[in-house]
Amino acid sequence: RVIGYASGHCCSAAYWMASACDELHADPSATVGSVSTIMSGQDTSRQWEMEGRELKLFATGKFKATGTPGKRWTEEEEANIWSIVRPLDAEFKGYVSARRQLTPDLMEGQWWIAKHAPAAVVDSTTFQDIDALLMAAYQL
């Protein structure tokens, strides 16, 4: 029996890991959830052009410099990023759904204060700290 306890933030990858627990309890004020996948970057090439800056780039591999400041993103680079994000998102959501029985509408990146989270997100918010949880779980 593996018991997890969330205090502070238990979102995104942390929530993915916490979903491996047989039970997941949380401090009532913890933030939990954020089941979705993100990757971001900035295309600063126009800003560089307006400032009169020019990027000199020496990289091998057509995707190696993706996201380099001052470099314009190509459609092919963006498609490559999506080819990483989408399968990872499917794996993330599939695992969390199987372990926590979350429905797709609860895996759109939203997060909750644990005491107001939908029932499937955490098993309880009755323990103010991990010591109280351990005492109850193991009848110490």
Q: Provide CB contacts within 8 A for 72, sequence distance 6+.
A: 43, 45
pTM of the model: 0.85
Phi, psi for 55 (deg, rounded to 5): -85, 130
CB atoms near residue 72 (< 10 Å): 13
Per residue in 68-78, pLDDT tens? 999 999 999 99
Give tens-digit pLDDT for 15-68.
999 999 999 999 999 999 999 999 999 999 999 999 999 999 999 999 999 999
2-23, pLDDT tens digit by residue?
Answer: 999 999 999 999 999 999 999 9
The C-alpha atoms of residue 118 and residue 138 are separated, in whole angstroms, by 26
Rg (CA), the chain: 21
